[in-house]
Amino acid sequence: MVKQETIIKTVGLNCCYGSLCVLKDVNLEIYKNEILGIIGPANSGKTTFLRALNKLNYLNSSYSQKGDIYFSNESIKNIGENILRRKIGIIFALPQVLPVSIFDNVAYGPKVHGVTGKNTISQVVENALKKAYLWDEVKDRLNEPAVRLSGGQQQRLCIARTLAVEPDVILYDEPCSGLDPISTAKVEDAMQQLKESYTQILVTNNTKQAARVTERCVFLLMGEVIEVGETDALFTEPQDKRTDDYITGRFG
């Protein structure tokens, strides 16, 4: 395999809420333009890891963190939250749309980052919706409230909203947990198409989805990295017995 360029690197990452530590000494490298899967049972720290990458955990006042995270070789401690979150976007588990129109949902990000001009914003919105494979379904109803979209459409709208601020990395926090299989397939298609331009990290409870979509996978258990490897290898010949137990469905 070709030596890949590292975009995110965590060094000795420990994450705690009050006295409860949910991630212990996580050292991971994430390569540019890969789709990295993070699998593991509930409460193994998957979401916390994801949200540590763009400092979203700090919205919880009891959160504390040790160790360091580097984004493009710079410690995220030195990067302002709003700059970091623009570069590292996130898609939440349940589709969360703002109670405004489809257009305004996507336009919100560019607007807060100072993009002005009606035509410019329209172009940004159109491009983002196209990349998220939603444009054809919504192009005639951009001014309708976003909540009228179906769950799968809403989730792709969230992806478009994230793309509109031109991130480098997209984090997915169980993006399909509330979706039917067809919507799930559409979201997965969109992820495959986005591979060319973005680094994507997918947290999922669905091991089959991880096997379908990702190239490399991390198995987290009780806040510890048990195994990291290429997805095919990890699923066919897991090195650790606990990984084997999890992916074959013996627990979790």
Partner 1 sequence: MNAARIRQKIAFLVLAIATLLIVIPILLTIFYIVKNGISAVTWTFITQSPRNGMKEGGIFPAIVGTIVLVIGTMLFSLPVGVLSAIYLVEYAKDNFFTRLVKLSVVNLSGIPSIIYGLFGFTLFVLLMKLGTSILAGSLTLAIMSLPVIITATKEALESVPFSFREISFSLGATKWQTIRYCVLPYAIPGILTGTVLSLSRAAGETAPILFTVAAFYLPRLPRSVFDQVMALPYHLYTISTQVPNMPMELSFATGFVLIALVFIMNLVSIILRAHYRKKKLW
Distance in angstroms (rounded) separating the CA atoms of residues 229 and 72: 22
Residues 119 to 148 in contact with partner 1, rule: CB under 8 A: 145, 147
Residues 139 to 198 in contact with partner 1, rule: CB under 8 A: 145, 147, 161-162, 165
Nearer to partner 1, 146 or 211 (CB): 146
Stretch in the footprint of partner 1 (CB under 8 A) among 87-95, 133-141, 200-208, 217-225: 87-95
Stretch in the footprint of partner 1 (CB under 8 A) among 88-96, 124-132, 149-157, 241-249: 88-96
Distance in angstroms (rounded) separating the CA atoms of residues 221 and 201: 17
Q: How far is the CB of 181 from partner 1 (least distance, A)?
A: 25
**Interaction between residue 4 and partner 1 (CB under 8 A):** no
Single residue of 59, 78, 118, 196 touching partner 1 by CB under 8 A: 59
Single residue of 4, 75, 96, 236 touching partner 1 by CB under 8 A: 96
**Interaction between residue 61 and partner 1 (CB under 8 A):** yes
Backbone φ, ψ for residue 231 (5° rounding): -55, -45
Single residue of 17, 31, 92, 135 touching partner 1 by CB under 8 A: 92
Cβ atoms of residues 160 and 128 within 8 Å: yes
Q: How far is the CB of 143 from partner 1 (least distance, A)?
A: 13
**Interaction between residue 238 and partner 1 (CB under 8 A):** no
**Interaction between residue 216 and partner 1 (CB under 8 A):** no
Distance in angstroms (rounded) separating the CA atoms of residues 186 and 125: 19
Q: How far is the CB of 165 from partner 1 (least distance, A)?
A: 6
Cβ atoms of residues 216 and 230 within 8 Å: yes
> What type of residue sits at position 197?
S
Distance in angstroms (rounded) separating the CA atoms of residues 31 and 149: 34
Nearer to partner 1, 162 or 184 (CB): 162
**Interaction between residue 74 and partner 1 (CB under 8 A):** no
Q: DSSP state, 95? A: -
3-state secondary structure 104-164: HHHHHHHHHCCCCCHHHHHHHHHHHHHHCCCHHHHCCCCCCEHHHCCHHHHHHHHHHHHHC
Other beta carbons less than 10 A from residue 217's beta carbon: 28
List interacting residues with partner 1 (CB under 8 A).
54, 56, 59, 61, 81-87, 89-90, 92, 96-100, 108-109, 112-113, 145, 147, 161-162, 165
